[in-house]
């Protein structure tokens, strides 16, 4: 998120022989900063209290981004880079970046005459432009102040000369006055508000801020409606795909006349085999018929057996039955020998 903060010059500025204005400024501090909800991308919240811990403000990664940063006359609508520096820069921050109590203090120089003229006409406050991550967690500072969010990973981009800075009088060139809470920028009779739009902070009238907030709300609602419609369409497409798959499966399941004849012959043969084991009526699928025959033959012990077991056991019982029939035929008397044997038994009493 791109943010703008208050800074201050803590010594009277000086003019060089070349006409530049040189001064020292406190450009960042720890503690609480207050932002409007619209400025933080939370238009439903009036004021957001953001906490800047010491370990975030004074860590090396944050302080290393401060030296030689450009100065601008008001905040530009875009970050300063090598591509737009020539058009937007009016001076720069120096190299001596040091901690001063709860502040970071640096030297700076105004080099653009128009900006120096604005300063001498009373435009003498400063505002720091930087990027930071916002950790939306509430809490209480070591000093007992409540906050709504925490700033982390601060990276400075530029320092702007402005009419009214977030820190009030303390961010005034050549003034060591006490810190004040942030206020709206006043220009003539219009009160301007800072809002964030598409990641860029801009200053607009209060009425314009309300219009933008309403438009943003409508855009969010439209996006949500579009997402819902897309989700509903995807759900319908998935249902249609499922039905198409079921239809194809039914088509695949239909038998040809030859397949139907084969299935009937197979079932008739299976029932005949089952009746050899146990002569009873059979119903259901082929697997059911085999299980019914085995249950009648050996009892309920096969009730929880797998289909593979049932198939194997059914075939085994048929083989056993075939072996018993063959063995019986091998020992059966045949022809005249049988008749003679019966006749011998019939006349045995005569002897």
What pLDDT, on a 0 to 100 scale, did the predictor assign at position 50? 93
Contact 175, 9 (CB under 8 A): yes
At 97, list the tokens.
């970046």
Give the Cα separation of 201 and 4 in Å (integer): 8
Q: CA 342 to CA 325: how far, in whole Å?
A: 23
What stretches of the chain show up as alpha helix (H) in DSSP? 54-57, 60-63, 85-88, 113-120, 206-253, 257-277, 286-298, 307-330, 335-346
* pLDDT for the residue 54: 93
Q: Please provide residue 334's backbone torsions phi and psi, each rounded to the nearest 5 degrees.
A: -135, 160
Of 29, 90, 46, the C-alpha closest to 184 is 46
pLDDT of residue 350: 56
- Taking only the tens of pLDDT, the chain with its 351 residues reads 666 665 555 567 899 999 999 998 888 889 998 888 887 888 888 889 999 999 999 999 999 999 999 999 999 888 999 999 999 999 999 999 999 888 888 899 999 999 999 988 888 788 888 899 999 999 999 999 999 999 999 999 999 988 865 544 444 443 333 333 333 333 333 445 666 655 566 666 665 666 677 777 788 888 888 888 888 888 888 888 888 888 877 766 677 788 888 888 888 999 998 898 889 999 888 999 989 988 988 888 888 889 899 999 999 988 888 888 787 666 655 556 556 555 655 555 554
6's enclosing H/E stretch is strand 2-9
**Phi, psi torsion values for 83, nearest 5 degrees:** -80, -30
Domain ranges of the chain: 2-183, 186-254, 257-346
The reported pLDDT for the residue numbered 188 is: 35
If phi over 0 gives left and psi between -120 and 50 gives alpha, with beta otherwise, what is residue 163? alpha
- Please state, in angstroms and rounded to a whole number, the distance separating the CA atoms of residues 350 and 22: 156
pTM of the model: 0.48
Contact residues for 269 (Cβ-Cβ < 8 A; gap 6+): none
- Predicted confidence at residue 219, as pLDDT, reads 82
């Amino acid at each position: 998120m791109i943010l703008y903060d208050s800074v201050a010059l803590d010594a009277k500025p000086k003019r060089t022989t070349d006409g530049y204005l040189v001064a020292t400024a406190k450009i960042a501090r720890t503690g609480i900063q207050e932002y409007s909800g619209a400025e933080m991308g939370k238009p439903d919240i009036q004021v957001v209290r953001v906490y800047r811990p010491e370990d975030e403000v004074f860590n090396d990664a944050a302080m290393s981004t401060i030296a030689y940063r450009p100065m601008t006359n008001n905040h530009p609508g875009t970050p300063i880079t090598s591509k737009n520096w020539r058009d937007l820069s009016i001076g720069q921050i120096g190299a001596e970046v040091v901690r001063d109590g709860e502040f970071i203090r640096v030297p700076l120089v105004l080099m653009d005459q128009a900006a120096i003229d604005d300063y001498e006409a009373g435009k003498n406050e400063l505002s720091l432009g930087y990027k930071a991550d916002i950790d939306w967690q509430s809490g209480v500072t070591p000093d007992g102040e409540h906050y709504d969010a925490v700033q982390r990973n601060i990276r400075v981009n530029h320092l702007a000369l402005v009419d009214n800075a977030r820190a009030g009088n303390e961010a005034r060139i050549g003034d060591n006055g006490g810190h004040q809470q942030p206020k709206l920028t006043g220009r003539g009779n219009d009160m301007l508000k800072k809002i964030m739009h598409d990641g860029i902070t801009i200053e607009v009238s209060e009425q314009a801020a309300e219009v933008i907030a309403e438009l943003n709300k409508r855009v969010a609602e439209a996006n949500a409606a579009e997402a819902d419609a897309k989700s509903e369409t995807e759900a319908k497409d998935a249902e249609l795909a499922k039905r198409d798959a079921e239809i194809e499966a039914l088509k695949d399941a239909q038998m040809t006349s030859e397949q139907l004849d084969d299935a009937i012959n197979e079932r008739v043969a299976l029932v005949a085999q089952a009746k050899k084991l146990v002569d009873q009526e059979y119903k259901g699928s082929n697997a059911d018929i085999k299980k019914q025959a085995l249950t009648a033959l050996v009892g309920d012990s096969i009730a929880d057996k797998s289909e593979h077991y049932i198939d194997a056991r059914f075939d085994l019982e048929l083989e056993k039955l075939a072996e018993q029939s063959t063995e019986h035929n091998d020992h059966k008397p045949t022809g005249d020998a049988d008749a003679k044997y019966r006749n011998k038994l019939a006349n045995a009493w005569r002897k």
